[in-house]
Structure 1
Amino acid sequence: MDGEAPLGPADVWSTSAVAAARAFEYWRDLICDTFVQLSATPTTPGPFDGKLVHADLGSFEMTTVHAGGQRVRRTPRLIARAGEEYLLASIQTRGRGRIEQDGRVAELVPGEMALYDSTRPYTLHFDAAFEQVVVQVPLRDMLAETGLRDARGVTATKLGARSTAGVVAQFFHGLARLQQADPLGAAALATQGRGLMAAALTLSAGRAPRGDALTRRRVQAFLHARHADPGLTVDDVAHAFLVSRRTLYRLFDGGPDGVSAQLRRIRVEHAKSLLRADRGRPLGSIATACGFAGERQFYRVFRAETGQTPGQFRGTSGQ
């Protein structure tokens, strides 16, 4: 991770690239190269299929894992051989998964998330086919940002889909889908990722948020995840976080337009990425994809934010 978010598409690796007899051996090499050194065995008989969609987004890496049943272990011997120090979050999107570390077990169903630490042994278990989004960040960075001494007390603790941390899981799930469809848009939104991983670590530790910073990040993640909904209002955001409109205004520069301005900027940034990526796409289609009520509103808001019309931006962005 070099600190620069790439603008290109994610890397995709699949066991379809090799003969069926070598599929799981190939898969084991893939997950070791993508994450950390691991041992793995299949949990179901018959042919094995697996695919990884991996993106390095600068301050963190994100991988969507589609695969058959397996048991994956990070052993003391493998840790001694390669001492990679990462905090990882698994967000279950299909099927079921189990994470074991530090004497705890987190059973995950879609929408739930758990953290684990590559510096100590852990086990991941999947009885059948599954999908997860896995986020990986340098452990030292996360500890420095949260003030925790280590992650020992927060690993393998289930963070539910309806909990506060569920907003973090929703953000990364949405970002993974966007990365595959719109890499430029994903790179723009990914700037929130590291802060949200720190938020997940803090919440998993049962600590109160540090001032307003964590709540602001949660709101920003919610706006990123829901910005394509043209009916989204400030009242909807306030209701989602059980706070008043006044509290939201205070979080964003104290002005009544703060949350709305954030939402407009997110929509415009998404629109800019689509205008760059697909020069033949109709403006009405882009307006709908970014949450604008119509092409007229899109034109007005885009010009107010950028000083250009969408057509002018599209004509000059490639120069």
Structure 2
Amino acid sequence: MQQIAPPDRARSLAWNTEDVRPAEQFAYYREAICQVFMKLTPEPTDRSSFAARIERVALGAGAINRVKFPGHLVHRSPSDIAASSSSCFYLNLKLAGRCRIEQGGRGVDLSPGQVGIFDSERLFALRHSHGPSLQVASFWVPTQLLRDRLPPSFEFKPARVSDDPLVGHLIVETAHALNSAAASMPEQESAQLFGVLLDLVALSLSRDGRRGTEPISLVEATWIALRRAVDSRLREPGLTAATVALSVRISERYVHKLFERAGTTFASHVMDRRLDGAARDLKDPAIAGRAIGDIAFDWGFSDLSHFTRRFRHRFGCTPRDWRRG
């Protein structure tokens, strides 16, 4: 199996099977799984090949493991547990395909966009299915890191925490944000965001958790979800705070409060993000022949002269001069 380890990013490692003969790919995948996910036992498949890619990024004391593979079955066996030097919880964000987590007589199904958690200290089975190519972002959570956020007597059971009516959507948004940006973020920032994610998971698992951490985490996670909601709608003309508030399930007033807390306003943030996007497109050689007006309209501007004025104010030149470089 080819291992990729960027020399300037020691906290990030990746493996893939693309340079391995098809008949040997599953065996190499099994070895990489053992390295990345502690000790797991994937069952052989009847496939003649097994194209897989695994990337691990450190998140302070924890890590995120991003995996892409065909459907198959994975076990955590007694010998796997005995051979492991540390314990953890797995917090899985399903990205493509479906998975069923079976542990302690309980089954938890995950579809794309859902998040589930289970324990490495007990036997489990993962049934990855429904799709030619399955993807999951699996957060490796040191056991004590989560236990410290839960009541001492808390009895853990596997759960789909994305279903929580209070913080489920914040867990999903925070997990997506970490999955997207962990490799490029400074490690301290990614570790802090990972802590926010764990606070939210602990809050979902037990309402009697460490309440001192809840308000901060809820605010930070809501802010993350809010910015993601704005970014996904930047190209919509007439985007309003009310529209975004509805998608994040908060009030319009709270939207403005969060932007004020960050030292800006909703309108300014949207304008800056749209101008940044247009500026990138104007420098893109692939669309060098596209009209400036078309690019402006693509980014939600309905008036070319207004776009030009705002662009000049932000970048100190006209869009045409910016494109010319």
TM-score under structure 1 normalisation?
0.68
- 2:143 alignment partner AA: L
Matched with 1:46 is: 47
List aligned pairs for 1:13-162, cutoff 5 A. 13-42=15-44, 44-59=45-60, 60-127=62-129, 129=132, 130-144=134-148, 146-149=149-152, 152-157=155-160, 159-160=162-163
Matched with 1:243 is: 250
- 2:247 alignment partner AA: A
Q: Does the C-alpha gap of structure 1 residues 53 and 222 become closer, same or farther in structure 2, counting only changes over 3 Å?
A: farther
Q: Does the C-alpha gap of structure 1 residues 30 and 150 become closer, same or farther in structure 2, counting only changes over 3 Å?
A: farther
Q: Does the C-alpha gap of structure 1 residues 50 and 107 become closer, same or farther in structure 2, counting only changes over 3 Å?
A: same
Matched with 2:228 is: 224
Q: Secondary structure of the residue that 2:162 maps to in structure 1?
A: coil
Q: Secondary structure of the residue that 1:120 maps to in structure 2?
A: coil
1:108-143 C-alpha deviation (Å, 9 max, x unpaired)? 122211012223332211245422122223332333
2:241 to 234, 237, 242: 234
Matched with 1:198 is: 198
Report the alpha carbon displacement of residue 90 of structure 1 after superposing the two structures with TM: 1.4
Instruction: Output the CA distance in 2 between the equivalents of 1:22 and 1:105.
Output: 32
Report the alpha carbon displacement of residue 63 of structure 1 after superposing the two structures with TM: 2.7
1:165 to 168, 185, 188: 168
Residues 73 and 121 of structure 1 are in contact (CA less than 8 Å); yes or no, is this contact kept in structure 2? yes
Matched with 2:320 is: none
Question: Which protein is bigger by CA-based radius of gyration?
Answer: 2
Q: Secondary structure of the residue that 2:91 maps to in structure 1?
A: strand
Q: Secondary structure of the residue that 2:59 maps to in structure 1?
A: coil
Residues 95 and 131 of structure 1 are in contact (CA less than 8 Å); yes or no, is this contact kept in structure 2? yes
Instruction: Output the CA distance in 1 between the equivalents of 2:175 and 2:271.
Output: 21
Report the alpha carbon displacement of residue 66 of structure 1 after superposing the two structures with TM: 1.6
Report the alpha carbon displacement of residue 100 of structure 1 after superposing the two structures with TM: 1.8
Matched with 2:319 is: none
Q: Secondary structure of the residue that 1:227 maps to in structure 2?
A: helix
- Count, aligned residues: 294
- 2:75 alignment partner AA: R
Instruction: Output the CA distance in 1 between the equivalents of 2:58 and 2:249.
Output: 31
Instruction: Output the CA distance in 2 between the equivalents of 1:153 and 1:166.
Output: 21
List aligned pairs for 1:172-191, cutoff 5 A. 172-173=175-176, 176=179, 184=184, 190=190
Residues 249 and 255 of structure 1 are in contact (CA less than 8 Å); yes or no, is this contact kept in structure 2? no
Residues 174 and 224 of structure 2 are in contact (CA less than 8 Å); yes or no, is this contact kept in structure 1? no
Residues 249 and 258 of structure 1 are in contact (CA less than 8 Å); yes or no, is this contact kept in structure 2? yes
1:198-255 C-alpha deviation (Å, 9 max, x unpaired)? 1441343152872354144233234136425324542233222433233344456669
How much identity, in percent, do the aligned residues show?
A: 21
Q: Does the C-alpha gap of structure 1 residues 82 and 255 become closer, same or farther in structure 2, counting only changes over 3 Å?
A: closer
Instruction: Output the CA distance in 1 between the equivalents of 2:168 and 2:271.
Output: 24
Unaligned ranges ≥5, structure 2: 1-7, 317-325
Residues 38 and 74 of structure 1 are in contact (CA less than 8 Å); yes or no, is this contact kept in structure 2? yes
Q: Does the C-alpha gap of structure 1 residues 108 and 229 become closer, same or farther in structure 2, counting only changes over 3 Å?
A: same
Instruction: Output the CA distance in 2 between the equivalents of 1:55 and 1:66.
Output: 12
Instruction: Output the CA distance in 1 between the equivalents of 2:260 and 2:206.
Output: 28
Unaligned ranges ≥5, structure 1: 1-5, 308-319
Instruction: Output the CA distance in 2 between the equivalents of 1:151 and 1:16.
Output: 44
Q: Secondary structure of the residue that 1:198 maps to in structure 2?
A: helix
Instruction: Output the CA distance in 1 between the equivalents of 2:150 and 2:271.
Output: 33
Residues 97 and 125 of structure 1 are in contact (CA less than 8 Å); yes or no, is this contact kept in structure 2? yes
**227-236 vs 63-72, greater mean Cα deviation:** 227-236
Residues 96 and 112 of structure 2 are in contact (CA less than 8 Å); yes or no, is this contact kept in structure 1? yes
Q: Does the C-alpha gap of structure 1 residues 97 and 254 become closer, same or farther in structure 2, counting only changes over 3 Å?
A: closer
Q: Does the C-alpha gap of structure 1 residues 263 and 213 become closer, same or farther in structure 2, counting only changes over 3 Å?
A: farther
Matched with 1:310 is: none
1:248-267 C-alpha deviation (Å, 9 max, x unpaired)? 444566699455677789x5
Instruction: Output the CA distance in 1 between the equivalents of 2:221 and 2:231.
Output: 15
Q: Secondary structure of the residue that 2:48 maps to in structure 1?
A: coil
Residues 115 and 156 of structure 1 are in contact (CA less than 8 Å); yes or no, is this contact kept in structure 2? yes
- 1:83 alignment partner AA: S
